[in-house]
Structure 1
Amino acid sequence: MHANLNSRCLAIKIYTKVGDQGYTRQITGQMVPKFDLQIEALGALDELQSWLGVVLAQLSPKTQSLKSELITVQRQLYYLQADLNVAASNVINAEDVTNLEQRIDTIMAQVPAIKAFILPGGQITGANLQYARTLARRAERTMANLHLQQTKINPILLQYINRLSDYLFALARYANLLDDYTDIPSKTRA
């Protein structure tokens, strides 16, 4: 049985050797450099999505309630990648942006108001979500670069990734509240 399982596993290789010379194949079949703006944007989204897996793996006991919504965000990032990759794919839409805005408003009504910038960090979940926010901002910059320099993308996608970083900031603050952590304000020099 074990030998049979190994032979089935070998039937599908995870390496293709296509990228050995610094190129990758787009879904259209076109070969592009691995630093192509579309590939950079897809990679930035992949990094964010993977980091959210780390967030999920390290949820504190008091933040377990965030699990299903974070899994939903991971799924939406797959849709966002599809929308960037396939012109006919239009999964992310204005309703998704509105849903993020509504969730941000709900969260921000529950956390203490802030009157100054705060230092990113906190307990494990909040700190991980703050880092996710920075990855979302990087993905946003790469998507904007793609949109402005190479290929026009649906403006809804730019709106979505912009709101997603705001959502992750709000969720980080909420996670820290659940974990009884008080945000530390940044202090300016006197």
Structure 2
Amino acid sequence: MVKLNTIYTRTGDDGSTGLVRGPRRTKHDLRVEAYGSLEEANAFIGQARLTSSSRPRIDAVLSRVQNDLFDLGSDLATPGADAPDAQYPSLRIRPVQTLWLEQQIDQFNATLQPLTSFILPGGTPLSVSLHLARTVTRRAERLVAALVEAEPDTSPETLRYLNRLSDLLFVLGRVANDNGAGDVLWVPGNYGDVEKG
């Protein structure tokens, strides 16, 4: 269990931060940006949970996802492989966690009508919050994709997990809109009707 007695340490005042292992990195380092975006996504999921209490199934899924995102953050904050004689293995996101997301997507998506158009973030407050969380998750995914390319020893499961999570948040956003009945559909512009000024 983590125990934090001191909140500020002053060690980051020079613009650097410590990882679980390895040398300190700048606070704008790609790895730090990646797990920082996970924190942001987690905060948006927490915000979504302010309006998910009336949907206990969704709320339970979001609760588990918030905990998984901490696992994923720990994974990204621990670069490199464990030493062969390490007493405790590093916390890594595992394929079973990604599989669980896929199972949730399949279960929730089974209740939805097929899409006939792209949808816009809108409808219920819960749906909008889930779409916000989804867009931040997509940003985190882009950063992790760049990190995997720059540091190939980064676990590819981190990228798979984020890809599935954004899909799950999309599906949950539709469920929160009366199983898609309240989705706000994209209406493509017809600029031929615009009067010339």
Stretches of 4+ aligned residues off by more than 4 angstroms: none
Asked if structure 1 preserves the Cα contact closer than 8 Å seen for 2:53 and 2:59, the reply is no
The residue type equivalent to 2:164 in the other structure is R
Asked if structure 1 preserves the Cα contact closer than 8 Å seen for 2:33 and 2:143, the reply is yes
Deviates more, 1:73-82 or 1:146-155: 146-155
Asked if structure 2 preserves the Cα contact closer than 8 Å seen for 1:97 and 1:163, the reply is yes
Once the two structures are TM-superposed, the CA of residue 92 in structure 1 deviates from its matched residue by 2.0
Q: How does 1:40-55 map to 2 (within 5 A)?
A: 40-55=33-48
Overall identity of the aligned pairs, in %: 37
Once the two structures are TM-superposed, the CA of residue 112 in structure 1 deviates from its matched residue by 2.0
Once the two structures are TM-superposed, the CA of residue 69 in structure 1 deviates from its matched residue by 1.3
Question: TM-score w.r.t. structure 2 length?
Answer: 0.83
The residue type equivalent to 1:129 in the other structure is L
Residue in 1 that maps onto 2:99: 98
Structure 1 pair 68–60 and aligned structure 2 pair: CA distance change class (3 A):
closer
Residue in 1 that maps onto 2:28: 35
Q: How does 1:161-172 map to 2 (within 5 A)?
A: 161-172=162-173
Give per-residue Cα distances to partners, 1:145-169, cap 9 Å, x unaligned: 1111234312121111100000000
SS of the equivalent of 1:18 reads: coil
Question: TM-score w.r.t. structure 1 length?
Answer: 0.85
Asked if structure 1 preserves the Cα contact closer than 8 Å seen for 2:17 and 2:25, the reply is yes
Q: Is residue 184 of structure 2 the alignment partner of residue 184 of structure 1?
A: yes
Residue in 2 that maps onto 1:118: 119
In the alignment, structure 1 segments of 5+ residues that lack a partner are: 1-10
C-alpha separation between the residues in 1 aligned to 2:26 and 2:152?
15
Residue in 1 that maps onto 2:193: none
Asked if structure 2 preserves the Cα contact closer than 8 Å seen for 1:37 and 1:150, the reply is no
- Equivalenced residue count is 178
C-alpha separation between the residues in 2 aligned to 1:65 and 1:118?
23
In the alignment, structure 2 segments of 5+ residues that lack a partner are: 83-89, 191-197
Q: Is residue 16 of structure 2 the alignment partner of residue 23 of structure 1?
A: yes
SS of the equivalent of 2:12 reads: helix
C-alpha separation between the residues in 1 aligned to 2:22 and 2:98?
31
